[in-house]
Amino acid sequence: MMQNVTLASSNAGKIREFEGLLTPLGWRVTGQDQLGIVGAEEPHRTFLENALSKARHVARVAGTAALADDSGLCVSALQGAPGVDSAHFSGPERDDQRNNMALLQALAGQDRREAYYYCVLVWLNHADDPTPWVAEGRWYGEIGQCCVGNGGFGYDPLFRPKGLDKTAAQLTMVEKNRMSHRALAWQQLVARIQG
């Protein structure tokens, strides 16, 4: 029998990724928008605080288990930016293309292009769960000179994972779910969910 978990996200790309990861484990994933839940504020300056805030909010409103992630791109030459501001790097609206262009502009003339995607996952069995499960993952690579590929979302067309000769936007969903920051965090969390 499928169990319900509400994902504290309105991002269609993230919802697809988590459906691919959770459905085989017997969990039905519902995005917060599908339940009419307005996302929680994300005022914090750390990924962990934002993820925990989102998970508690969704668990309380939905009355189900909740899964939240906070993730973003951290670029060495930019002292970790865009970081927690990854979704809004180019301004208040969420626009992947504009964010990618803003990142390229911020790195203009930079030789150092090392970066990593970071993800923290928080799982709550209920809104007042005093022992949330927390996992994290980092996916190392570098920022390319131009956007390449049509898959993925966010900065994937610019992010070239370490050891690969293509961008994250050129990976299949199966490949990405095996090596991404979210997949690495997921590997830590899955044993707890199965237990």
3-state secondary structure 106-159: HCCCCCCCEEEEEEEEEEECCCCCCCCEEEEEEEEEEECCCCCCCCCCCCCCCE
Q: What are phi and psi of 31, to 5 degrees?
A: -75, 150
- Average pLDDT value for the chain: 93
CA dist., res. 122 & res. 193, Å (int): 12
Domain with residue 55: its CATH number is 3.90.950.10
Considering the entire predicted model, what is its pTM?
Answer: 0.87
Q: Which residue(s) pair with 139 in the sheet?
A: 117
| Domain that residue 61 falls in | 3-194
Residue from 70, 95, 96, 129 carrying the catalytic annotation? 70
Count structural domains, the chain: 1
95 is catalytic: no
Residue range 124-150: mean pLDDT, rounded: 96
Query: Tens of pLDDT along 41-77?
Result: 878 899 999 999 999 999 999 999 999 999 999 999 9
pLDDT at residue 193 greater than cutoff 70: yes
Closest listed residue to residue 14, CA positions, set 61, 69, 60? 69
